[in-house]
Amino acid sequence: STLENILKSIPEVLPEPAAVVFINNLATSSIDFAVRPFTSNENYWKVKSEVLEKTKVTFDQIGIEIPYPHQVEIHKE
């Protein structure tokens, strides 16, 4: 899967135990995935940051939009 390939591209993600990727929730306007790679304690923040950044960049490249709340201004006269 795309998320698994992202994890494989990060050298600090350990091959064992294997990373876990699963659907965590089916929300009203999104499918929420959980991504749980393993790394050493000292690489935790680096891996977390890289996973987030690479996921956003990759999703943008393949046309997957991340939902966000829309606000509409109502002007009353």
- Residue 17 vs residues 20, 26, 64, 65: alpha-carbon distances, Å: 9, 27, 29, 30
Determine contact, residues 40/11, Cβ cutoff 8 Å: no
> For residue 68, is pLDDT > 80?
no
Tens digits of residue pLDDT in 3-33: 999 999 999 999 999 999 999 999 888 889 9
Q: What is the pLDDT of residue 55?
A: 95
2-62 has which fold?
Alpha-Beta Plaits (3.30.70)
